[in-house]
Chains A and B, each alone.
Chain A
Amino acid sequence: MKIKPLASLLLAAALCIGLAAQRSLTPAPPAEKVTFEPLNTITVNPAHPAPLRLLFRVKPGFHINSNKPLTPELIPSVVHFSLPDDLVVGRVQYPAGQLKSFPFDPTQKLSVYSGDIVITGRVIAPPHAATGTYTVHGDFRYQACDNNACYPPKTLPIVFNVKVGAHSRSGPRAHGNSQSPHIHN
């Protein structure tokens, strides 16, 4: 009975040492410079496209190249989708870049995004599309800098759901599972 406080103390010490060791051995993951704002499920009916609005947030103090940077060595921001057979994303529109110069080179203007970026498009279900909910995977590739340094290109995953509504002319059919790009710009 008397040994219990001592055992508790030693156990607490062991736990603290273990926790401290774990913290010192586990490196913190690098913070993302851009985040993707989750989307609500998009509902689309065959022959009636639905608008797609992807919102990305660039952390304060950072900027990324626009989709059309002004020099070829700069890496453009680009969104890609891997779509189920029954869906198409069309008319992907990137916002115009802001023309800005930065302290590291006040003489040169760059076409960049900062703050919130909205990339739009249209989700289209072809007439043969089966009803049901589909998960669309994609990614956003960007390369960020701040006023003093640049960071390696990153690929940010994107996921959202699309619900294909009832078909007016023909009955539903089985979902195709293959993921193939159907991007119409």
Chain B
Amino acid sequence: MNRSLLLVVGVILVITSLLFLGKRMSQDEAQASAKSGATPNAPAFNPAAAGPETGSIAPDFDLKVLDGNGKTMKLSSLRGKAVILDFWATYCGPCKIEMPWFVELQNKYGQDGLQIVGVAVDDASEKTISDFTHKMGINYPILIGTEKVADLYGGLDGLPTTFFLDRSGKIIDKQLGLISESVIVDNIKKGLASGGNSGSTPAAGQ
């Protein structure tokens, strides 16, 4: 009797394990296929597979502000605002395309509670980054990224990588690569509309 029961349990365990293993392998293959760039125009990695999940609170960090005289900015200090977290680099062509849109959108939605934050994930010197941002007319804070923060956000294997946060700091969307301005605007509106009312004004330099 006991042996029969054990046998049934064993069979169930084997079948469950095989199903789990099969599912896991098909997920891995799908990710490998996305990473391989089999579709030439597709991003080479699946952002949904890496980094913090949509719906979770964005990992906090405290990063040096570019041209900020040593000041730092903590992401959590922006609670109460909708935040666009734009990871970029000076060598990244697609990142440059988005920047004028961000400048315009910061002007347009800043008073409603939008804060755009650029995080430079770059080998270039701070002077190079600073010259670049001045040339681009950036009107929002640029932070100097670190490997630790890159790891917190899934490794940032591709740029730009953009996280959209609502007023509570929750991730409402994340995108790898250049996206259309309309997608950005839609996410700004979502971010401003959710996660609570506008709260304290954020400050660079804690």
Spell out A's residues near B (CB within 8 Å).
2-3, 5-6, 9-10, 12-13, 16-17, 19-20, 23-24, 28, 30-31, 33, 59-62, 73-75, 102-105, 108, 110, 143, 145-153
Contact = CB atoms under 8 A, between A and B. Distances in A.
Interface band, chain B: 35 or more
Interface of B: 3, 6-7, 10-11, 13-14, 16-18, 20-21, 24-25, 28, 31-32, 35-37, 39-45, 89-97, 121, 123-124, 128, 132, 156-160, 176-178
A149 B160 contact: yes
Contacts of B3: 2-3, 6
A59 B38 CA distance: 9
B206 to A, nearest CB: 29
Contacts of B10: 6, 9-10, 13
Contacts of B44: 31, 33, 61-62, 146, 149, 151
Nearest to A17: B17
Contacts of A61: 37, 39-42, 44
A98 B157 CA distance: 25
A79 to B, nearest CB: 18
A102 B124 CA distance: 23
A13 B37 contact: no
Contacts of A3: 3
B199 to A, nearest CB: 33
A77 to B, nearest CB: 12
A143 B121 CA distance: 14
A60 B157 contact: no
A110 B94 CA distance: 13
24 contacts: A9-B11, A9-B14, A13-B13, A16-B14, A16-B21, A24-B24, A28-B28, A28-B32, A30-B35, A33-B37, A61-B39, A73-B90, A73-B132, A105-B93, A110-B93, A146-B40, A146-B44, A148-B42, A149-B92, A150-B89, A150-B93, A150-B94, A150-B159, A152-B157
A146 B44 CA distance: 8
Contacts of B156: 152
